Structures are given as structure tokens and as C-alpha cells.
Amino acid sequence: MTEHPHAALVRKGYDAFSRGDMDTMRTLLAGDATHHVPGSHSLSGDFKGQDAIIDMYRRLAEETDGTVHVVPMNVLVDGRGHAVSLHRFTARRQGREIDETGALVFRIVGDKITDLDECVEDIERSNEFWA
């Protein structure tokens, strides 16, 4: 059975992110895509447009000295432009470590990601880690 194109797109995004391949990331994101990050810390908020999203990804790597790792566990699709991924997120920052399950809810139009809503396992732990 062939993987649904939306699941393949999401997996390609995880792969590009893991390799730090932001040129490929740009090909996957719509020009006006938005990534919504929950919490109340310096890396939370709405990042609109490819440049803002890519810059936020750069900051994730910078803030964690390159220790941020996101490993997809599963990708679910509805065949109508939505995909949900579950992943394991690990990183080290300023003597702190985080290891938790997270999720992204994607909106896909055509072959581009237009919206990413991030969900975290423990929002208080996330806020503390990024504080």
C-alpha cells in the first residue's frame, strides 16, 4: 500500500528539519504558511511566512546548541488536507533537558503546508525549558 501524499509530505518535512535542510523546508511550505507554537516563552507565538518559520527553526537549533531532535512516530491523514503527526522531541538547553511527546496538526493545500499547529505534552514543562 502506498503512503498518502500528505503523509509523505509531512515525513519529508521532518527529514529536512532533522538534517537542517531549510532549502527543502521552503519547498514544502506555502509562502504565507503559519506555524503556531504554544506557550509563554520567547519561541512561542505565531510565525507567519516562510522566512519567519525558518528563522524560528534556526533559533531552535541555536538555543539548544544543535541538540534539538524531533523524531516522527506516526502520521495520520484525513484525505481532505489535514495531517496529524506524533513525534518525540528532545533537546538540551542551559543545563536543562526535555524529552516529551508532541504533535503537529497540518493544513495542506495542494502540495504545500499552509498551517502548522504545534501541541506539547506538558505546556508548563515546555515553558520552563524555553524560559
82 bridge partner residues: 107
pTM of the model: 0.94
Phi/psi at 55 (5° precision): -65, -40
pLDDT computed for residue 2 by the predictor: 86
CB distance 37 to 43 below 8 Å: yes
CB distance 102 to 129 below 8 Å: no
Q: How much is the mean pLDDT over the chain?
A: 97
What residue type is assigned to position 93 of the chain?
Answer: R
Percent above pLDDT 70 for the chain: 100
